[in-house]
């Protein structure tokens, strides 16, 4: 909501924010309904709505033919979601994705660009800035017109948007990403760890919408976790929650069965661990017994990695995300069977349906959360 003039009373601004929130939550609402919900007089509600109409935050609903036949109906209003927009960005090792949405979370544009692992931090950040500008420009906006920009990145990210540590991206450790991007993006900017945004996305638009306690397992050429506790992504004492670090038997021991299978099946092929897993998935679906056994063993190892988190946290759901979520039932069913056997209260295991977009969707939600706090609430 646009800041009103300095002589406007605090009570007026509080009432305006309250009416705007009610408009946003309702499909359509009359002045009488607004006044009742906001606990203000009808003339006060009418004056505030007129201001919101003039500023573009609200719009009057068109009458339907049936309404005219019954006589003059009460005027109805709704929130104008297109009055503001946010952009979410997901920074990956080889791809950067961006989405722009209106203030109701409706995605109205997207962009992506390939960025090689070996590029330096300045070039990677420049690609982020270009994507944000392109997303805004696609709607005839400048970056300064955006209500907020949310950015998700790999690595340990502190509360100020600094990358404390990253083992995947060149020149990323120690980077004050929020400050550096802020030099070129003149909009409120938020930076968060990618796994926290992935589990936030599952809670908002994914398979975990009805759950408040969730473990998100990212599978790909790395393994990582996102934790949702009581509906809020968990950061941890050092903002390092979900970082698995060096595993006792080596980071790639969980991939041992699919690596062995792929190397035996096609000895001359050099693949990344996740590619070997997908190769085994394909052969398993084709009915090859050795491939099926390798995949089942891989899923069991994932289940064993999860149980030390699942038992003490007692989540409602485990979401398997990342590139290997495409394995779906080949992973989900053995993990579910294992957790059913060893957990006091086994969570439901589900494959993510957001695919590669989970992080950028979470970044959009992060930006929307900021917009909610700044546009629809007034500090007393």
pLDDT of residue 86: 98
What is the share, in percent, of the chain residues with pLDDT greater than 70? 92
207 has a pLDDT exceeding 50: yes
Q: What does pLDDT average to over the chain? A: 90
pTM, to two decimals? 0.89
Residue 7: which pLDDT band, with cuts at 50, 70 and 90?
Answer: very low
249 has a pLDDT exceeding 90: no
Angle between helices 329-342 and 273-285 (to 10 degrees): 100
Residue 64: which pLDDT band, with cuts at 50, 70 and 90?
Answer: low
The answer for residues whose C-beta is within 8 angstroms of residue 183's C-beta and 6 or more apart is: none
The top-level CATH class assigned to 85-199+359-375 is: alpha beta
CATH 3.30.420.40-classified regions of the chain: 85-199+359-375, 210-353
d(CA 340, CA 24): 42
Q: Domain 210-353 in CATH: superfamily?
A: ATPase, nucleotide binding domain (3.30.420.40)
Residue 269: which pLDDT band, with cuts at 50, 70 and 90?
Answer: confident
From 3.90.950.10, 1.10.1060.10, 1.10.10.10, 3.40.50.300, which CATH number describes the 10-79 domain?
A: 1.10.10.10
* Cα dihedral 133, 113, 325, 353 sign: positive
CATH 1.10.10.10-classified regions of the chain: 10-79
245 has a pLDDT exceeding 60: no
Any idea which of 68-72, 140-144, 184-188, 201-205 has the lowest mean pLDDT? Answer: 68-72
Q: What is the pLDDT of residues 30-58, one digit of tens each?
A: 999 999 999 999 999 999 999 999 999 99
Give the pLDDT mean for 179-206: 97
Helix (H, G, I), strand (E, B) or coil at 179: helix
pLDDT of residue 238: 81
pLDDT of residue 153: 96
Any idea which of 85-94, 216-225, 361-370 has the lowest mean pLDDT? Answer: 216-225
Backbone φ and ψ for 343, nearest 5 degrees, come out as -105, 140
305 has a pLDDT exceeding 70: yes
């Amino acid at each position: 909501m646009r800041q009103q003039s300095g002589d406007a009373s605090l009570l007026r601004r509080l009432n305006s924010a309250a009416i705007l929130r009610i408009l946003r939550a309702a499909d359509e609402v009359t002045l009488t309904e607004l006044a009742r919900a906001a606990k203000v007089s009808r003339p006060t509600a009418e004056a505030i709505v007129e201001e919101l109409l003039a500023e573009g935050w609200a719009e009057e609903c068109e009458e339907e033919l049936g309404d005219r036949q019954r006589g003059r109906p009460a005027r109805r209003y709704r929130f104008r979601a297109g009055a503001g927009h946010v952009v979410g960005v997901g920074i990956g090792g080889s791809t950067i994705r961006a989405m722009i949405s209106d203030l109701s979370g409706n995605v109205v544009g997207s962009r992506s660009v390939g960025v090689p692992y070996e590029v330096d931090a300045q070039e990677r950040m420049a690609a982020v800035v270009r994507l944000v500008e392109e997303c805004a420009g696609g709607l005839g906006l400048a970056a300064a017109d955006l209500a907020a920009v949310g950015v998700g990145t790999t690595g340990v990210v502190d509360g100020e948007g600094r990358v404390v540590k990253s083992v995947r991206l060149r020149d990323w450790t120690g980077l004050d990403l929020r400050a550096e991007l802020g030099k070129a993006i003149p909009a409120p900017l938020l930076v968060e760890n990618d796994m926290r945004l992935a589990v936030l996305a599952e809670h908002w638009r994914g398979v975990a919408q009805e759950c408040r306690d969730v473990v998100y397992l990212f599978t790909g050429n790395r393994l990582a976790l996102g934790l949702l506790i009581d509906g809020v992504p968990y950061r941890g004492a050092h903002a390092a929650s979900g970082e698995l670090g060096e595993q006792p038997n080596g980071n790639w021991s969980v991939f041992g069965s699919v690596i062995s299978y792929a190397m035996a099946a096609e000895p001359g092929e050099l693949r990344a661990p996740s590619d070997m897993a997908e190769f085994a998935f394909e052969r398993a679906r084709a009915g090859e017994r050795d491939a099926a056994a390798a995949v089942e063993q891989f899923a069991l190892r994932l289940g064993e990695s999860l149980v030390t988190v699942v038992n003490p946290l007692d989540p409602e759901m485990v979401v398997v995300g990342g590139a290997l979520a495409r394995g779906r039932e080949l992973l989900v069913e053995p993990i579910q069977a294992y957790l059913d056997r060893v957990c006091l209260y086994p969570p439901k295991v589900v494959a993510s349906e957001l695919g590669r977009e989970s992080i950028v969707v979470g970044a959009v939600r992060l930006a929307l959360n900021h917009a909610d706090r700044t546009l629809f609430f007034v500090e007393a």
